[in-house]
A and B are shown apart, each in its own frame.
Chain A
Amino acid sequence: MINYTKNQITFMQFIFLIHGVQVGVGLLTLPRELAEKAGTDGWIALIIGWLFSTLASLIIIQVMKKYPNGTIIDLITHFFGKWVGKIAAFIFGLYFAFIGSIVFVREGLFIQFWVLPQTNLFLLLFLLSIPSYLIVRNNITILGRYAELVFFMTTWMLFFYFTPLKEAHWLHLLPLIKEGWKPILTAAKTTIFSFLGFEIAFFLYPFLQKKQKASIGIVIANTLTLAVFLIVTIVAFIFYSPDEITQYKEPTITLLKIVEFKFLERLEIVFLSLYIFVISTTVLPLFFSTVFSAGQFFGKQDHSKYVVWLLLLNLVYVLLLPQSFAGNRQLQKGMESISLILVYAFPLCLWVYLWLYSCVKRRVFK
């Protein structure tokens, strides 16, 4: 049994960790994906996505409350036995490893395409692996501090997005609900996945200092993410014509190409270089959860050894298989259905089960 009281995270760190995992590479393409499905009504879908993710997050917290001093794996071990716990650790480890690796590779692809087109992808990821190792091998407190630092270090970048507003065309947003609700609901399917990342709460909960604040914290994290998504999406919608926005692969980056200072052009390169930090707050907690699950699977306290293996595996994978945006996207699409089960269906079932379980137990005691 791991002692979770030794390395704790504060309420703020809890919020920023979850928010950090949610905001990452997806934001770069989000406005286009929404515009493809629902035109300039896409932002409404964001709010629907937020509703779903907040609900699912609250359910996760409710589940974790049943066994406050352990992660989801400890909880499953406690209620279902050791072997089911092992299986859960295996599944969760694999899930986070896949998601983390997809994001990691995508991060490299973005840097390669926009900033360093002549550099080998393997080399880029190798260089990124070094700081990743240095952070993930530590305990969760370090990771929490890192997420907090990066949040305050990078939120100002959002202000760049107010510059295109000089040439805003608010008329693009009208009329609201152009073609009925159907396209909006289709887009909501996309946004539900944009908010993924709150499942990290499965692993963060036992480390949280004030557990009574977990629900409010996870709602704040989701809302913060919604705010970031909404700002970027609406700016993209009112700046680009609805007829042209779908032509840009990464409207979030292209938007910055028009921001220009006397002393600095091509701001998007500077932005993207800083955005690596934002993406790292997605990747690192995911890697941490992976190695943590691995530690629990093998019954080891220390997880730092697994970090090396995970990063090495990643590099070997990149070295052996050629990577592309399309392939990466395909993989992510594949993961989405698994996410849906693991993040939405599984906590709900577990919650109902645990609720019934406690009912039955109470009656037996009477």
Chain B
Amino acid sequence: MKRWFHATLLIFIIVILSSCGGKAPLEDLTLAFIIGIDLDEENNLVFYELNPVFGEGTRTGIETYKVKAKTIRDSRRLFDALTTGEVTAGKIQVLLLGKRVLQHGDWFPILDTVYRNPTFSMSTRVVTVDGPVSKVILYNPEEKHQLSLHLKALIDKNYDRTRAVKGTLQELHREINEKGMTPFISEVKKEKNLELSGISLLDNNGKYAQFLNVPEATLLLMLQNKKRKEVTLTIPVLPNDGEKNIFHKNVISFAASRVKTKIKSGYKQNKFHFDIKVKMTINIVERLFPEERLSKEQLTKEVEKELSTQIDSLMKKIQKKKIDPIGLGLYARAYQYNHYKKVENNWGESLAESDINVSVKVNINSNGAVEQ
């Protein structure tokens, strides 16, 4: 009797076991891999969605849709009307934002559902598109991997080489909300090919403020102490030889094995002061001029000089736009809390007025495998 009771109970429990009924075969799902948000000429929000097609009898393997909708969630309704399966958001790899969207200061709330709805992945890469998003999302060359894989790999690889930011949704949320810093996102453009062009710097509200090309992006990342697996820079250390300089015989390339940025903050005469000290150990990987033109000491000096000029001009650019992608505000908060608290809501302006000193210290470690 007791055994029967147990058996019935077991069957009963198995039958009501939750979540077994709602199975979802891959073929019946439409996994959005890329979502694009853009504005058309009349400033209407346009949403793009790219998803792979599984199963036989399909040709290209991916499909792309474009809809006009009010919000991201609203766009799902329209995508559902177009696709075979249920549109699922959990696997979005890349979120493309048109530059035209970013040029309006108050765009960030349109991403609300991404953070409110727990099914969204927080590691989706956010990427700015210079130009219309449609050009990127409809780009589907035969010889490349599928666009979502390609874009993600493009970002991640350059992230590893300290040239781009991952710019995940999580990071974006932090940077937008943090008062002591401003957001920055990797930027791509489609000319003939799809290429990573640099980093877009946004202001406190998320409005597009400044574009940085890839070498500048590397410097910015170095200042943030975000050196990844590799940092390579190519800089001129000798004066330009005039028109003969077809082969850029004045440049040197080096890989930095160690980059350490120390930032000290202070407050004097109603102004914030920042001392930025960059210390790096470098290995020369390319030198197009003969060794005797510069001794090791001179070379070190020249590299230091060139780097600090470049960083200086980067800082000028940042200060001019009243933004703070480095996060100097974090240092101000940590060490000058009371002064910072007074200006935290207008941190960009305070930073624009503050004094920033940059010094670079270089230690040349090796000259490579060839003597000369």
Using a CB–CB cutoff of 8 Å, the interface residues on chain A facing chain B are 113-114, 116, 118-119, 123-124, 127, 130, 167, 169, 171-172, 174-175, 178, 240-241, 243-244, 247, 254, 257-258, 260, 265-266, 268
Question: Which residues from 164 to 185 on chain B have a C-beta closer than 8 Å to any C-beta of chain A?
Answer: 168, 170-171, 173-174, 177-180
The answer to the question of B1 belonging to the interface, with a C-beta cut-off of 8 Å to chain A, is: no
Listed A/B pairs (18) with beta-carbon separation below 8 Å: A116-B19, A119-B18, A123-B16, A127-B13, A127-B18, A171-B333, A172-B334, A174-B333, A174-B335, A175-B335, A241-B174, A244-B173, A254-B122, A257-B170, A258-B122, A265-B90, A265-B121, A266-B90
User: Interface digits, B135-177 against A, CB 8 Å rule (1 contact, 0 not)?
Assistant: 0000000000000000000000000000000001011011001
**Total contacts A to B, CB within 8 angstroms?**
62
Would A175 and B334 be within 8 Å (CB), given that A243-B178, A244-B173, A257-B121 are in contact? yes
> Is the CB–CB distance between A119 and B19 below 8 Å?
yes
> Is the CB–CB distance between B170 and A258 below 8 Å?
yes
Q: A210 to chain B: closest CB distance in Å?
A: 39
Q: Which residues of B contact A175 (CB under 8 A)?
A: 334-335, 337
Would A178 and B337 be within 8 Å (CB), given that A240-B174, A244-B173, A258-B170 are in contact? yes
> Is the CB–CB distance between A130 and B168 below 8 Å?
no
Complex Cα distance A254/B174, Å? 13
Could you list 18 further interchain pairs (A-B, Cβ under 8 angstroms) beyond the known A169-B330, A171-B330, A243-B178? A119-B18, A127-B13, A130-B13, A171-B333, A171-B334, A174-B334, A178-B337, A240-B174, A241-B178, A241-B180, A244-B177, A244-B178, A247-B115, A254-B122, A257-B123, A257-B170, A258-B168, A265-B123
Closest to B118 in A: A114
Question: Which residues from 292 to 328 on chain B have a C-beta closer than 8 Å to any C-beta of chain A?
Answer: 327
The answer to the question of B22 belonging to the interface, with a C-beta cut-off of 8 Å to chain A, is: yes
Q: A177 to chain B: closest CB distance in Å?
A: 10
Q: B341 to chain A: closest CB distance in Å?
A: 8
User: Interface digits, B326-352 against A, CB 8 Å rule (1 contact, 0 not)?
Assistant: 010011011101000000000000000
Complex Cα distance A172/B334, Å? 7
Q: A268 to chain B: closest CB distance in Å?
A: 8
> Is the CB–CB distance between A116 and B18 below 8 Å?
yes
Complex Cα distance A247/B178, Å? 12
Closest to B181 in A: A241
- Which of A178, A241, A266, A268 has the most chain B CB atoms closer than 10 A to its own CB? A241
Q: Which residues of B contact A178 (CB under 8 A)?
A: 337
Q: Which residues of A contact B115 (CB under 8 A)?
A: 247
Q: A237 to chain B: closest CB distance in Å?
A: 13
> Is the CB–CB distance between B22 and A118 below 8 Å?
yes
Complex Cα distance A130/B17, Å? 12
The list of the 8 closest CB pairs from A to B, nearest first, reads A174-B334, A244-B177, A241-B178, A257-B122, A171-B334, A119-B18, A171-B330, A243-B177
Q: B167 to chain A: closest CB distance in Å?
A: 12
Q: Which residues of A contact B13 (CB under 8 A)?
A: 127, 130
- Which of A171, A172, A240 has the most chain B CB atoms closer than 10 A to its own CB? A171
Q: A32 to chain B: closest CB distance in Å?
A: 14
Q: Which residues of A contact B174 (CB under 8 A)?
A: 240-241, 244
Complex Cα distance A118/B23, Å? 13
Complex Cα distance A130/B288, Å? 76
Q: B233 to chain A: closest CB distance in Å?
A: 24
Q: B8 to chain A: closest CB distance in Å?
A: 14
Q: Which residues of B contact A244 (CB under 8 A)?
A: 173-174, 177-178
Q: B93 to chain A: closest CB distance in Å?
A: 10
Q: Which residues of B contact A169 (CB under 8 A)?
A: 327, 330
User: Interface digits, B13-34 against A, CB 8 Å rule (1 contact, 0 not)?
Assistant: 1001111001000000000000
Closest to A172 in B: B330
